[in-house]
Amino acid sequence: MNIDIFGLGYVGAVSAGCLAHDGHRVIGVDPSATKVELINAGQTPVIEAEIGTLIQESVEKGQLSATMDFASAIEQTDVSIVCVGTPSQLNGSLDLSHVRTVCEQIGESLRRKDGFHAVVIRSTILPGTIRQIVIPTLEEYSGKRAGEDFGICHNPEFLREGTAVKDFYQPPKTVIGELDTRSGDILAELYGHLPGPLIRTDIETAEMVKYTDNVWHALKVGFANEIGNICKALEIDGHRLMDIFCQDTKLNLSPYYMKPGFAFGGSCLPKDVRALTYKARSMDIPVPILDAILPSNALQVKKAFDMVVAKGRKKVGILGFSFKAGTDDLRESPVVELIERLLGKGYELKIYDKNVNLASLVGANRDYILNRIPHIARLMVKDLSDILAHGEVLIVGNGSAEFQGVLGQLKPDQVVVDLVRISDGRSDVASYDGICW
């Protein structure tokens, strides 16, 4: 392919060198004469393992060159990859001036160019940037329509400094957020030889992926450090502890617990978070990340409550209120907390959970429901049909299999607030509202 790359900084230079090494004809574009001269001399403008050799070989073979003339570069290519910086401003927002400038330049050039041209944003940008800034700017300066006269994709990069070339050729995943299938096909062909999953999705999801990855990595560092600080105070080797922790790839380092939804509950997680943060406080060890877990969890209960209130209806049916499907355990169930709040605001509730049966409850569970929440026990019904007949708003509180068909049984005026995702439905359907989707 014939490709131009705007921005010859860290990401742009590595991408240019690797794509040229793969046999594509690549033209780097940058306003810095120094960077352009370095590339054309076969030298790297960034310090990164292996990239110097790739750039030198590609320039010698005529696969890679650089210029300050953006119009000439676009005229000779079919794909523009934007790799300019998006630095933080003082308030944390992104400085998108470089992105905007490049889009103006590309737009001006597309106005004079015939044929289809794909524009790929590889810079790290927040969701909404492409639709609110990139596309309007390109359309204004080109006089053409995005998705028709030219293509738009977002292709976030996952390159780590020091291992960027290795990461380019062995990516954990390749993500293509596409406005149009044609430009998505171009990128799929460009990266089709790389290992790992190739994921084609919508623009906004692709924009969000890089931030989700990086914030998760930052959270992991902070979490490990707080655990390590507690361990040191207890004369425990934090590295040895985390080595054991990381050997659990079923729960700890896995997709488990990583689906957005309702608050956690049960007899273990809330209790153990409280115990460990108490222990840290007793040793005067600040653990702001660990301290934020329970308040964050409580916000999900509030969010669910606010969703129900927003429906403007008083008759509510609860489908499942044990803390998860397949159990009768109500201890620290976030659904019980939600029920308490709704009762306090005068909502008319009926509750159904086949596993929470007073006749079979024993021990701690029996004591809890009879002595701690007897007012809730009196609202329980024995049949799912009773809930469907009563509720103007139906709250799905756990993922019991018997709730899968509820959406197909709704009356025209009923709405569902789903806390567990019993369906692939989205909140753009009037009768359905998912808590995190």
- Joined together, the tokens standing for residue 96 give 């998108």
Q: Which of 83, 153, 231, 268 is catalytic?
A: 268
Task: Give me the residues of the chain with pLDDT under 50, please.
Answer: 359
How far apart are alpha carbons 19 and 185 in whole angstroms?
A: 17
3-state secondary structure of 152: strand
How far apart are alpha carbons 236 and 258 in whole angstroms?
A: 29
pLDDT at 359: 46
| Burial class of 312 by CB neighbour count within 10 A (0 to 12, 13 to 18, 19+) | exposed
Q: What are the pLDDT digits (tens) for 388-420? A: 999 999 999 999 889 988 988 999 999 999 999
Backbone dihedral region of 202: left (phi > 0), alpha (psi from -120 to 50 degrees) or beta?
A: beta
Residues in binding site: 30, 35, 86, 124, 158-161, 210, 257-261, 265, 271, 324, 331
Q: CA dist 213 to 64, 197, 220, 325, 403, Å? A: 31, 16, 11, 29, 33
Q: What are the pLDDT digits (tens) for 81-98? A: 999 999 999 999 999 999
Q: Quick check: is 268 catalytic? A: yes
Task: Kindly give the interhelix angle for 203-233 and 238-246, rounded to the nearest 10 degrees.
Answer: 140
The set of residues, in sequence order, having a beta carbon less than 8 Å from that of 359 and lying 6+ positions away, is none
How much is the CA Rg of the chain, to the nearest whole Å?
28
Task: Answer whether 29's CB lies under 8 Å from 175's CB.
Answer: no
Q: What is the CATH number of domain 296-434?
A: 3.40.50.720
Nearest residue to 320 via CA among 398, 394, 417: 398
How far apart are alpha carbons 29 and 4 in whole angstroms?
A: 7
CATH topology of domain 2-201: Rossmann fold (3.40.50)
Task: Answer whether 349's CB lies under 8 Å from 378's CB.
Answer: no
Task: Answer whether 356's CB lies under 8 Å from 382's CB.
Answer: no
pLDDT at 368: 76
Other Cβ atoms within 10 Å of 355 Cβ, number: 18
Residues in binding site for NAD(+): 30, 35, 86, 124, 161, 271, 331
Instruction: Report the alpha-carbon angle 365-367-370, nearest 5.
Output: 105
pLDDT at 427: 64
pLDDT at 373: 84
